[in-house]
């Protein structure tokens, strides 16, 4: 049976943004979020506390086209937005291999995201910044290891937001209510009992990365639960697990 596709129910504020009350840039961003919600089957949108944006990494002209169209339309981030790594070392641009035009485009893209109001953090690990999402709060994060850390260590709630959806969530301040934002999708589905792992194994840093690799391969898109781990694992080891 084919599922009927319908638009999410929007609040007055969201409808006004979609109609252009906050400018053409915000309207474009809201159209993207509404279409994403429609594709995912979300009934409504939810406000988010922050976004972590991966679209600042240069992959081609389309990235520049989007960010500069948002800027031209007067868009600004509505919530705190941190930036993932870019394609250029801003402190040592000369060491980056590539054509001069590509390096210039990478810088143009990175500057564009800062112009939208995003923080020039340039990190894959926004959870190591001083301001972090609180338990149970909704965010829209890209970057796979950051998503794992936010959901599993911090107890915040984020689905995986790819390029362009991430900045549109930051500009609108909203994300679709689907996936790991919902209680029912956060229940454990695969149990990994680690109590039988030989003593001392988890005293080595590499064990945590290996465990993450194993759990990821075995669980796929299912939600894993781990028991029997030693207490007191520091955040660098949990970072390695998620990465």
pTM of the model: 0.92
Is the pLDDT at 95 greater than 90? The verdict is no
| pLDDT tens, residue by residue, 197-227 | 997 899 999 999 999 999 999 999 999 999 9
| pLDDT tens, residue by residue, 126-137 | 999 999 999 999
**Cβ(176)–Cβ(37) below 8 Å:** yes
**Cβ(90)–Cβ(138) below 8 Å:** no
Alpha-carbon torsion angle 108, 112, 114, 120, nearest 10: -40
Q: Exposed, middle or buried: residue 218 (CB in 10 Å: 0-12, 13-18, 19+)?
A: exposed
DSSP state, 173?
S
Cα–Cα distance between 146 and 124 in angstroms, integer?
A: 7
Domains of the chain: 12-181 (3.30.499.10), 187-242 (no CATH)
């Amino acid at each position: 049976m084919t599922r009927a596709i319908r638009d999410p129910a929007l609040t007055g504020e969201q409808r006004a943004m979609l109609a252009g009350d906050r400018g053409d840039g915000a309207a474009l961003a809201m159209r993207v979020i509404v279409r994403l919600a429609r594709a995912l089957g979300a009934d409504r949108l939810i406000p988010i506390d922050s976004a972590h944006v991966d679209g600042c990494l240069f992959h081609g002209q389309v990235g520049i086209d989007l960010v500069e169209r948002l800027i031209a339309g007067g868009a600004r981030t509505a919530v705190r937005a941190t930036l993932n790594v870019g394609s250029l070392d801003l402190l040592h641009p000369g060491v980056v291999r590539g054509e001069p035009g590509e390096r210039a485009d990478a810088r143009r893209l990175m500057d564009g995201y800062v112009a939208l109001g995003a923080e020039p953090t340039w990190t894959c690990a926004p959870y190591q910044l001083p301001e972090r999402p609180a338990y149970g709060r909704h965010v829209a994060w890209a970057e796979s290891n950051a998503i794992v850390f936010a959901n599993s260590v911090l107890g915040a709630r984020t689905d995986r937001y790819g390029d362009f959806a991430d900045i549109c969530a930051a500009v609108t301040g909203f994300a679709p209510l689907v996936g790991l934002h919902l209680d029912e999708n956060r229940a454990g589905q695969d149990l990994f009992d680690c109590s039988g792992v030989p003593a001392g194994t988890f005293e080595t840093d590499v064990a945590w990365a290996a465990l993450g690799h194993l759990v990821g391969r075995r669980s796929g898109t299912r939600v894993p639960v781990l028991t029997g781990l030693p207490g007191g694992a520091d955040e660098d080891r949990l970072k390695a697990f998620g990465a």
